[in-house]
Amino acid sequence: MLLYNTPLAPNPRRVRIFLAEKNVTIPMRDVDLMTHEHKQESYVAVNALEEVPALLLDDGATLTESVAICRYIESLYPDPPLLGRNAREQAFIEMWQRRVEFRLFTPVALAFRHSHPALARLESPQKPEFAEHQRPRAQKMMRFLDQELAARRFIASDDFTIADITAIVAMDLTKAARVEIPQDLPNLSRWRAEVSARPSFVR
């Protein structure tokens, strides 16, 4: 297998943390988005949507989309389980993964793409007013997570899961996206400190 990766991009980072939690090493090839390497013919042949990450399988097929790649890795390396051990766990983890992805990760990512000067060549045209609209959406989800984390250790349960990976990557992107983290969220702060201290935590 070969993982097409971009070190500073949030979606490949989700996969790298997932792999680190599994203690699995896969050969990687970096794709430079800033030089538009993802738009070159050689990479378009890998992923016609011109996005990273992409996982080239041993049979020659290419798997894209971060969560799909993580699901495939989970099927090959089931321990520790990051997507659930039974139907009930899997359903609730999927629920929280989607909640975090759509209500925290996506607004932060959009704010980042539409406001950071370095991304002007990737997001054209940038729309600063759109970025401004995303920031309160992300903050609203942070407050919701703070309430939920009063009752359990991690996002979906007392076990670390893919939902925590998506959430921590989003939280770490807030500074670059200029999304202010409310200071009155002690449970979210506790969770963030614990997750950031995990051996798998990679930037």
Closest CA to 180 of 138, 125, 128: 138
Q: What domains, with CATH codes, occur in the chain?
A: 2-76 (3.40.30.10), 87-196 (1.20.1050.10)
Which percentage of the chain shows pLDDT scores above 90?
86
Which percentage of the chain shows pLDDT scores above 70?
99
> Does 123 have pLDDT greater than 80?
no
The arithmetic mean of pLDDT across residues 102-117, rounded, is: 93
**In angstroms, how far is CA 10 from the centroid of its own chain?**
5
Q: Residue 122: which pLDDT band, with cuts at 50, 70 and 90?
A: confident
Query: Which of 24-33, 116-125, 159-168, 186-195 has the least mean pLDDT?
Result: 116-125
For residue 46, what are its two tokens? 């890998």
**Cβ atoms of residues 53 and 64 within 8 Å:** yes
Query: Which of 22-26, 105-109, 113-117, 159-163 has the least mean pLDDT?
Result: 113-117
For residue 44, what are its two tokens? 């378009």
% helix / strand / coil in the chain, to the nearest 5?
Answer: 55, 5, 40
pLDDT, the chain, mean? 95
**Cβ atoms of residues 73 and 57 within 8 Å:** no
Distance separating alpha carbons of residues 94 and 72, to the nearest angstrom: 15
pLDDT digits (tens, 9 = 90+) for 32-75: 988 888 989 999 999 999 999 999 999 999 999 999 999 999 99
pLDDT at 203 (0 to 100): 58
